[in-house]
């Protein structure tokens, strides 16, 4: 049985919050632990508490000068501490010389993985996918014990990160000769409506086990309809442990991947030894082109694309951080309805399911990596692991998603404290070089909120796409001195509002607070560092060299209840155009009226019932995509 088997480890898990060092051992009694299915987020069950991860510090990015008590910054949910997961693994008795791998799509965080009592690997970053070869540790035909210890530190995040094995876990068994995880890299150096060239590199591992016999490699390209449109066969002989197969395919009249036009091809590679199939691996990809032009910005398939983007955190509101495909699909569909044509996975690496859905739904993605580098934003964040782990983490991100057509750029960071320093500029350059080395096809950006600092340090000048967070009034200054000839609003607005809540008088305000811990749904309130949607519309519409924007945020998320830093209870952001339950706020229709060109918008606010405002003037706002609208009240225009 040479073919690979892949099993998703969903059921049969036991879980506890009690940290017992013996929990990794084989005969350990976990019968009292709770039964859970994975993906699982232990913290979303609550209870909410003022004491959960209470942070006493100054948020530099928000302009805070002195340390203060932050309640609910990470959602007021109990994600801090240790969690253990255990289950048994069935390994076939006829395993022979086959290889066994464990893959975790994300484990929050500092994962230590044990098989039959022995530690097989460690991976600190909670947002990354990682895999271990556990062949030396398993016993064929016997019951094997898998144990995972996770630990989230206090003050390790600026938002609700979730907790536990919140993404999927897989057990894969392959023949000794196999295509390793993310072993295929597909590029389309030519991608036109008339013809395309598909360049494929595939790594083949374990060649030495063939004892000098030749290996037959058969490759096929399948069209979006599933028809074979190209194929190639070759025989290779190699005594080295790993061999790189490089093939190319010419395609006539390909179906290009584009926004709302998710044409996906498949590449299938089959390895055989004298007619016996050893391994088969399938990679989904798309054919499309990306180009950057000075003065003009971003081009997808030769067409100028102005980003009408949204930043999204990874949590799914009341469902927590546990991966849920239906909820993600709903998020993407809601954003599409608003007119969004790109999503930024802020400030973390996305779940593979989210990227696959964007591939399938035709939604471009900026895949982000880190919220901090070596300098901390919170005392126990990724800064503690950055120096030792950033290259491995970035490489995994890129290898996992470099064949996904929806991913159109990489982001190496967000508002890092290193921005104004020359060392920081060098570090940005180095991170960008890692991206270029592992994937020469996509541009790299960085979300920078210190425009004057990054112009001075050189950080902005080194990037493929200089990304500016907020301060649109400095776009002109930056554009004048930057060599690229364009810039991106990598994060914009931070307008705050609550669905169905209206405050009087209706005036523009910064950091306004109210006794009910809400913000006005009239969309006239923003943060100290930010602005209103129309401030960005003006810049984006008028400047051909401004590449578009990614608003903060498309949907509300758990944590960062700005401006209610210290006021309890407050555990959700107010930034979303859509609320925590996935229901549009009024602001959704403001963006929809400006961005959605395929379906008209006509929306009126506020509501009609104001018993306490009799005899007072209540402003009425209308958001519409029509050239004009007429308002009637009680039959009068």
Residues taking part in catalysis: 415, 491
- Element (DSSP H or E) covering residue 506: none
3 state SS for 241-259: CEEEEEEEEEEECCCCCEC
Tokens of 355: 């990227």
Q: Please state, in angstroms and rounded to a whole number, the distance separating the CA atoms of residues 559 and 191.
A: 42
Crossing angle of the two packed helices 386-401 and 422-438, in degrees rounded to 10: 30
CA angle 392, 394, 397 (to 5 degrees): 110
Tokens of 154: 């206090």
CA distances from 6 to 169, 191, 342, 453 (A): 10, 33, 32, 49
Q: Please state, in angstroms and rounded to a whole number, the distance separating the CA atoms of residues 44 and 78.
A: 8
Question: 250: which strand partners?
Answer: 197
Q: Please state, in angstroms and rounded to a whole number, the distance separating the CA atoms of residues 617 and 283.
A: 61
Per-residue DSSP letters for 357-418?
A: HHHHHT--EEEE--S--SS-SSTTSGGGTHHHHHHHHHHHHHHHHTT-TTEEEEEEEES-TT
Question: 169: which strand partners?
Answer: 104
Token pair 């019951």 in the structure block, residue = 143
Q: Is residue 231 a contact partner of residue 217, using CB atoms and an 8 Å limit? A: no
Sign of CA dihedral 178, 182, 183, 186: positive
Sign of CA dihedral 499, 631, 600, 306: negative
Q: Which residues of 137-165 are buried (b: 16+ CB within 10 A; e: fewer)?
A: bbeeeeebbbbbbbbbbbbbbbbbbbbbb
């Amino acid at each position: 049985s040479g073919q690979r088997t892949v099993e998703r480890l969903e059921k049969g898990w036991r879980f506890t919050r009690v940290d017992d060092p013996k929990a990794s051992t084989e005969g350990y009694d976990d019968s009292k632990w709770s039964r859970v299915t994975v993906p699982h987020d232990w913290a979303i069950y609550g209870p909410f508490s003022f004491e959960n991860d209470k942070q006493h510090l100054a948020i530099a990015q928000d302009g805070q000068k002195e340390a203060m008590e932050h309640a609910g910054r990470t959602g007021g949910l109990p994600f801090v501490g240790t969690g253990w997961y255990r289950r048994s693994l069935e390994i076939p008795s006829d395993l022979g010389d086959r290889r066994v791998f464990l893959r975790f799509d994300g484990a929050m965080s500092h994962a230590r993985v044990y098989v039959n009592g022995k530690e097989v690997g460690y991976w600190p970053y909670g947002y990354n996918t990682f895999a271990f070869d556990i062949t030396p540790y398993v016993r064929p035909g016997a019951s094997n014990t898998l144990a995972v210890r996770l630990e989230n530190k206090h003050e390790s995040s600026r938002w609700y990160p979730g907790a536990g094995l919140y993404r999927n876990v897989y057990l894969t068994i392959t023949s000794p000769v196999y295509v390793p995880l993310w072993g295929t890299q597909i590029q389309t150096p030519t991608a036109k409506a008339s013809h395309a060239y598909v360049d494929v590199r595939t790594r083949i591992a374990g060649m030495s086990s063939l004892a000098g016999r030749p290996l037959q490699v058969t490759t096929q390209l399948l069209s979006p309809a599933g028809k074979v449109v190209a194929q190639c066969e070759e025989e290779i002989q190699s005594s080295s442990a790993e061999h790189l197969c490089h093939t190319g395919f010419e395609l006539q009249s390909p179906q290009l991947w584009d926004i709302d036009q998710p044409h996906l091809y498949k590449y299938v590679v089959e390895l055989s030894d004298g007619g016996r199939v050893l391994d088969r691996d399938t990679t989904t990809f798309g054919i499309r082109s990306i180009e950057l032009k000075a003065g003009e910005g971003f081009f997808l398939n030769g067409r100028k694309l102005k980003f009408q983007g949204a930043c999204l955190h990874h949590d799914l509101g009341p469902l927590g951080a546990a991966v849920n495909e239906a909820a993600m699909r709903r998020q993407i569909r809601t954003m599409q309805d608003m007119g969004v044509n790109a999503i930024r996975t802020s400030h973390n690496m996305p779940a593979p399911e989210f990227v696959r859905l964007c591939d399938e739904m035709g939604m471009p993605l900026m895949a982000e990596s880190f919220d901090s580098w070596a300098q901390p934003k919170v005392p126990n964040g990724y800064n503690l692991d950055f120096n030792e782990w950033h290259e491995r983490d970035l490489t995994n991100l890129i290898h996992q998603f470099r064949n996904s057509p929806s991913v159109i750029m990489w982001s190496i960071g967000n508002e890092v404290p290193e921005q104004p320093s020359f060392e920081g500029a060098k570090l940005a350059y180095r991170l960008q070089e890692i991206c270029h080395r592992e994937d020469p096809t996509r541009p790299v950006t960085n979300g920078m909120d210190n425009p004057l600092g990054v112009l001075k340090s050189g950080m902005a000048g080194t990037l493929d796409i200089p990304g500016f967070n907020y301060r649109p009034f400095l776009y002109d200054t930056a554009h004048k001195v930057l060599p690229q000839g364009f810039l991106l609003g990598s994060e914009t607005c931070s307008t705050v509002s609550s669905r169905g809540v209206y405050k009087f008088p209706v005036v523009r305000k910064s950091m306004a607070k109210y006794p009910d811990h809400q913000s006005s749904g009239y969309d006239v309130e923003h943060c100290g560092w930010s602005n209103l949607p129309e401030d960005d519309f003006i810049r984006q519409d008028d400047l051909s060299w401004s590449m578009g924007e990614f608003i903060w945020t498309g949907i509300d998320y758990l944590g960062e209840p700005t401006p209610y830093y210290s006021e309890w209870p407050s555990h959700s952001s107010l930034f979303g155009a859509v609320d925590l339950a996935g229901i549009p706020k009024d602001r959704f229709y403001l963006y929809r009226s400006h961005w959605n060109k395929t379906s008209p918008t006509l929306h009126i606010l506020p509501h009609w019932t104001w018993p306490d405002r009799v005899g007072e003037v209540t402003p009425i706002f209308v958001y519409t995509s029509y050239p004009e609208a007429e308002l009637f009240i009680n039959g009068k225009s």
